[in-house]
Amino acid sequence: MSHHIIDFADVHFRYPDGTEALRGIRFRITHGESVGIVGANGAGKSTLLQHLNGCLLPTQGTVTIGDLALTARTRREIHKKVGIVFQNPDDQLFMPTVFDDVAFGPLNLGLDEARVRERVDTALAMVNGLSLRDKPPHHLSAGQKSAVAIASVMAMEPDILAMDEPAATLDPRSRRLLISLLKGFTHSKIIASHDLDLILDVCRRCIVIGEGRVVADGPSEEILTKRELLEANNLELPLSLQKR
């Protein structure tokens, strides 16, 4: 299915202050792949993710999502295909109650009331969050917030799911729940994280980014066992692979 393909062709991005965050990123992700993106702080992971749905537009090169090249004009169309869960759930949950927040996307898609309610319930059930429906986001714990943030993106029923550091604020049990949730999501998914165990668990493929370029790209089991490669990029072997 061509509409789940993500293609980055020589993507460059420079921030207005002159920082060059991406310097020629190239990769192609096909339908159903699960890809982890790892790299040191400031390597360009978050910038890369923001290119997936046009929060940022490349200063050079092209990003293609499905059969659409990402431009200011196709941005809205692409928002429907790619759901991004941002790093800080407080920024993601901007509506006054959980229900309103999860309903925000479906309502913008122009669905009728019954469909919207159905989608909200399905998405919240997916993250075990039905009981949070009427709460305001600032009454939630960090784990609950990130669960609702995921639900709010899932309610859009995206073809591709992208997440930026999804487990950073979670306690071990919430992290475990998140991992099983992610394993259940069968469409393409891209996860940027320092949590290499999570990547190893969830993603079959792994891309290492360093200084705005792709440093390595291959199966997670292979990449995440190369000690030198990882250490050169301020990373270390996943805990589960370290000898105690």
Partner 1 sequence: MHMADALLSPAVGTTLWAGSVAVGGYASKKLGSRLDDRLIPLMGVLGAFIFASQMINFTIPGTGSSGHLGGGMILAILLGSHAAFLVMASVLIVQALFFADGGLLALGCNVWNLGFYPCFLVYPLIYKPWVGDGKNPGRILVASVVSVVAALQLGAFSVVLETLASGKSELPFNAFVLLMQPIHLAIGIVEGVVTAGVIAYVHGARPELIESMTASRPLGPRVSFRKIMITFGICVIVTGGFLSWFASTHPDGLEWSIEKVTGKGELPEAEEGIAAVLKGIQQKTAFLPDYNFRPPESEPKTKEVSSDWPGIDSGTSTAGIVGGVIVLAMVGFIGAGIRFFRRGGPAR
Partner 2 sequence: MTFDERYFAVGRLDRLSYGRSLIHRLDPRVKVVATLLFLITVISFPPHEIVALLPFFLFPVLLLTLGGIPAGFILRKIVFVSPFALTIGIFNPVLDTRTVTVIAGLPISAGWLSFLSILLKFVLTTGAALLLVATTSFPGICHALRRLGFPPLFVSQLLFLYRYLFVLAEEAMRMTRARDMRTFGRRGLGVAVFVRLVGVLFLRTVDRAERIYGAMLSRGFRGDIPMLRKFRISFGDLAFLAAATILLGAFKFYPVTEGIGRLAQGVWP
Which residues are near partner 2 by CB under 8 A? 50, 53-55, 75-76, 79-80, 82-84, 86, 88, 90-97, 100, 103-105, 107-109, 113, 116-117, 134-139, 152-153, 156
Tell me the two tokens of residue 24: 């020629």
Q: Which of 2, 16, 18, 228 binds partner 1 (CB under 8 A)?
A: 16
From 220, 219, 224, select the one nearest 241 (Cα to Cα).
224
Strand ranges in the chain using DSSP code E only, listed in sequence order: 6-14, 20-29, 34-39, 60-65, 68-69, 82-85, 160-164, 188-192, 205-210, 213-219
Nearer to partner 2, 28 or 76 (CB): 76
Q: Which does 104 bind (CB under 5 to 8 A by kind): partner 2, partner 1, none?
A: partner 2
Q: How far is the CB of 92 from partner 1 (least distance, A)?
A: 12
Each residue 35-74 as x (binds partner 1 by CB under 8 A) or -, in order, gives ----------------------------------------
Q: Which of 94, 112, 115, 225 binds partner 1 (CB under 8 A)?
A: 94
Q: How far is the CB of 61 from partner 2 (least distance, A)?
A: 21
Q: Which does 168 bind (CB under 5 to 8 A by kind): partner 1, partner 2, none?
A: none
Q: Which does 134 bind (CB under 5 to 8 A by kind): partner 1, partner 2, none?
A: partner 2
Q: Which does 47 bind (CB under 5 to 8 A by kind): partner 2, partner 1, none?
A: none
Amino acid in the structure at residue 164: D
User: How far apart, in Å, are the Cα atoms of 234 and each of 38, 68, 194, 219, 226?
Assistant: 10, 35, 10, 20, 13
Helical axes 172-184 vs 142-154, angle rounded to 10°: 10
Q: Which does 67 bind (CB under 5 to 8 A by kind): partner 2, partner 1, none?
A: none
**107: helix, strand or coil:** helix
From 200, 178, 204, select the one nearest 89 (Cα to Cα).
178
Q: Which does 16 bind (CB under 5 to 8 A by kind): partner 2, partner 1, none?
A: partner 1
Which residues, other chains included, contact 238 with Cβ-Cβ below 8 Å and sequence gap of 6+?
196, 197, 199, 200, 224
Judged by the rule CB under 8 A, the positions of this chain that interact with partner 1 are: 16-17, 94
